[in-house]
Structure 1
Amino acid sequence: MPDDATPDPYTDPIRFGQRMQILRTRRGLSRSVAAGLLGMSPSWVKQVERGEIGMPKLPTILRIAELLRVRDLTDLTGDQSAPVNLFIGPGHPRLQAVRDAVDSLVFDGDREGPSVAHLRARLVTAWAARHRAANHREVIGGLLPDLIRDAQLAVRRTDTAADRRTAQAILSEVYSLSQFFIAYQPDSALLWRVAERGMVAAQESEDPHAIGVAAWLAAQAHRDSGPAHFDAADNMTVGALAHLEQHLPGADDRTTAIVGALQFEAAYTAARRGESGAAWGWWDKAEKTAKKLHEGYYHPVTSFSRAIMRAHAVTVAVELRAGGESVRQAVAADSTAIPSRPRLARHRIEEARAYQLDGQAETALATLEKAHKAAPETIKYNGYARRIVLEETESRVPARRQRAAVLAERLRLLAA
């Protein structure tokens, strides 16, 4: 290994500070930027990394883990006695069946392929079922294997170029639905495989909406991979928007909505970078797009709508680490206007992050309990929710510690 090579923090028995420095460097964060996002001084970060200060307490470790997008605390602490997976949830029992369907080659002999109309009806049913269900991963995990195989077969069985493009658009959306199931499960390679296949199918379809949805999901995958991939997320978002803008005059609600969703993705990534002006600027553009939608319209894939913009404002403020502003936006948001149970649960988690950031830990826990009630499978797989709950199990306030422990038990965070 070259003398200037970066050591691997996951294999050598090195101390916490060294691991923190290696992981921070890999994420492309300077000490001053990391310190600002942690609410600490650059000198504190320097002292920790040099070992002049011992390992911080659990609440601070969890904030560092969130900042560095560490998926397992042992990657940061080196302590293998109590691994805590933060940003990847447990593998769902139906994951293997979905993986097998994605990886299979579909020939099916002489079996006639399902019609596009039939597949479209099944997709509509699947999206509706996802939004209604508290156990949404269980529901769509049961539908996906047959839907994936049938959509693949439909593409193979088409007779004309036009029919093939239509079938490719359907297949792309099936892959999009698959990403909602696979996300935050322990198979990132499968997630990227599905994202790439969805983008290929969308481009083959030449359908603006399909291309927009595939780009929207790909941008999220890049952004969630860490700061080193923020440029890739932006390139995906901006490129898709440039392609879709030519279709905007006279566009229907679903095409308009995917444009708005992509505009918010740009806001989200800017907020992750800490670029307040750009983040709120993109949010303003998305809000103007939302106002072009018919009242009550709700995009089945992205959840983009007029109602969702206040929830999006909470996310921007939280990612910018603006505690007071994020709480103000949380208070202003009308959660009753969100018809999707998993999306409502996600919004509750963002509200909880806002309250935690503002020092209102008790309210944060109460809000996470609401998220659990709306959709247990959403909070179970959400790294931010898991971090808050684990942090509060170490609270000095007995009642709060007990409340967090109960929620941690529900989420199986304390299981051996």
Structure 2
Amino acid sequence: MTQHLTTGERVAWYRHRRGLSQEVLAGLVGRTADWLGKAENGRIELDRLSVIRALAHALDISIGDLIGEPTLLEWSADSGRRTVPALREALMDYRLLTPLMSPATEGAPPTLTALRSDVGEIWDAYQGSRFGLAARQLPLVLSDALLAARTYAGREREEAHGLLALTYQGAAMVLGKLGENELAWIAADRGLAAAQQCGSDVIMGSLFRSVTHCLLSTGRYETAVSLVNDAAGVLERGLAAASPALMSVYGTLFLTGSMAAARSEDRATTQAFLREAQTLADRLGGDANHMWTAFGPTNVAIHRVATAGELGDVQVAVELGPQVDTSGLPAERRVRHSLEVARALSSWNRTDEALAMVLEAERISPEQVRHHYMSRELVLGWIRGTRGRPSRPIADLADRLRVV
């Protein structure tokens, strides 16, 4: 029902459903009724998740309810016609939870070489912003990985559990992109359990990052910060002689933590986490994609822009954002950064530049732009703020995003 509303309009919609006046809701979040009125009618942009979380908490709803998630994964040649429901069935199949209830004749497990390749394809699809393709492949790969983890023994069993953990993590990351936060949490939780059976700090660290993402998506920012600190304590034992993969996972964990700290409006921790990530990026010596992290100096710069936006430092985001060259990074990272910069530009009424950023992001990955709340919010805001008919490029983009 609220699919075509801006975040501010959703606040008003849920406020009416709760029977709250503007004065009461504003008081619950420490704001004035005048501020809330402007936010609800689009004269103030609700573009900081810390503020959105406070409103969602006061309204007793989820953050996803206010930013328009979950969203529909549209059918495509990549996805076929069995998308998120098929993955949900795979995650919720009780027979996959314990070997005691497994079918008697499961067949031969896949070779670990084949399973490594299949897991890699899922992560490549994720980084290429081909979420439909990843969602389509995940149920079968998950079944194969579970069978392998139960069948193999010794070191092969440990590797199978590592691949199972990465499969669950891939599911969590894809589901998070699609706004399916509860399913993402289930996948991340099971992935972390599998990671503990594989004996790899690299894979364990990778799953810590995934759980942190899930906490972020549900607004549990302080908990996410605590998890990053605890996880860092677990991983730092091997940091002195760390491989590039472990350095990348460790550094990316701090980048995720910096977003959590920024959304908690904790500037000191945000900067501390960014400094830690920068140290790891410098030690790594350049951009890389170990464990599908896209970690390096460029990703640290991307997070400096994103955290500035979350903290309300729009000028920093506007000045630094366009200077970051993301051309060497995977599509998912490039598009996410473009949307952050577009949001900052739009907040300074530089709509033409912001629109250009969104259109370029759409050229790189139509699927990611179509499913991200930020692009939908930007376009809806531009349409609501236009007197008369919106420009043809904005109207056409709104039609492609199906927000009007």
Aligned to 2:253: 262
Residue from 356, 368, 371 that aligns with 1:366:
356
Q: Return the letter of the residue paired with 1:349.
A: L
Distance 1:62-1:284 versus aligned 2 partners, 3 A rule: closer
Q: Return the letter of the residue paired with 1:117.
A: T
Aligned to 1:38: none
| CA-CA distance at 1:379 after TM superposition | 1.4
Which residues of 2 match residues 84-163 of structure 1 at below 5 A?
A: 86-92=68-74, 93-104=82-93, 105-106=95-96, 107-108=102-103, 109-132=105-128, 136-160=130-154, 162-163=155-156
Partner Cα distance (2:187, 2:160) in 1: 17
| 2:51 paired with 1:67 | yes
Partner Cα distance (1:217, 1:120) in 2: 19
Which residues of 2 match residues 15-414 of structure 1 at below 5 A?
A: 15=20, 17=22, 20-21=25-26, 25=28, 30-31=29-30, 42=31, 45-46=32-33, 56-60=40-44, 62-63=46-47, 67-69=51-53, 86-92=68-74, 93-104=82-93, 105-106=95-96, 107-108=102-103, 109-132=105-128, 136-160=130-154, 162-185=155-178, 187-226=180-219, 229-338=220-329, 340-396=330-386, 401-414=391-404
Partner Cα distance (1:353, 1:372) in 2: 15
Q: Return the letter of the residue paired with 1:259.
A: Y
| CA-CA distance at 1:208 after TM superposition | 0.7
Give the secondary-structure state (helix, strand or coil) at the position aligned to 1:114: coil
Whether contact under 8 Å (2:261, 2:267) holds in the other structure is yes
| Cα deviation code 1:194-248 (max 9, x no counterpart) | 111111111222321111111111112112222xx22210121111111111111
Q: Return the letter of the residue paired with 1:291.
A: D
- Of residues 108-117 and 340-349 in structure 1, the stretch that sits farther from structure 2 once superposed is 108-117
Specify every segment of 5 or more residues in structure 1 that has no aligned partner in the other structure, as ranges. 1-8, 32-41, 78-82
Distance 1:333-1:397 versus aligned 2 partners, 3 A rule: farther
| CA-CA distance at 1:149 after TM superposition | 0.3
Overall identity of the aligned pairs, in %: 21
Partner Cα distance (1:243, 1:54) in 2: 46
Partner Cα distance (2:336, 2:400) in 1: 17
Partner Cα distance (2:20, 2:86) in 1: 40
Partner Cα distance (2:49, 2:266) in 1: 21
Partner Cα distance (2:241, 2:179) in 1: 42
Partner Cα distance (2:274, 2:165) in 1: 27
Distance 1:71-1:364 versus aligned 2 partners, 3 A rule: farther
Task: Considering fraction of residues, name the structure with more helix.
Answer: 2
Q: CA RMSD in A?
A: 3.0
Partner Cα distance (2:225, 2:66) in 1: 31
Partner Cα distance (1:256, 1:317) in 2: 24
| Cα deviation code 1:318-371 (max 9, x no counterpart) | 111111111111122012122x11221111111112212333222112111111
| CA-CA distance at 1:69 after TM superposition | 4.2
Distance 1:85-1:280 versus aligned 2 partners, 3 A rule: closer
TM-score with structure 1 setting the length: 0.80
Give the secondary-structure state (helix, strand or coil) at the position aligned to 2:385: coil
Distance 1:185-1:297 versus aligned 2 partners, 3 A rule: closer
Distance 1:76-1:239 versus aligned 2 partners, 3 A rule: closer
Give the secondary-structure state (helix, strand or coil) at the position aligned to 1:250: coil
Give the secondary-structure state (helix, strand or coil) at the position aligned to 2:260: helix
Distance 1:410-1:242 versus aligned 2 partners, 3 A rule: same
Give the secondary-structure state (helix, strand or coil) at the position aligned to 2:283: coil
Give the secondary-structure state (helix, strand or coil) at the position aligned to 1:337: coil
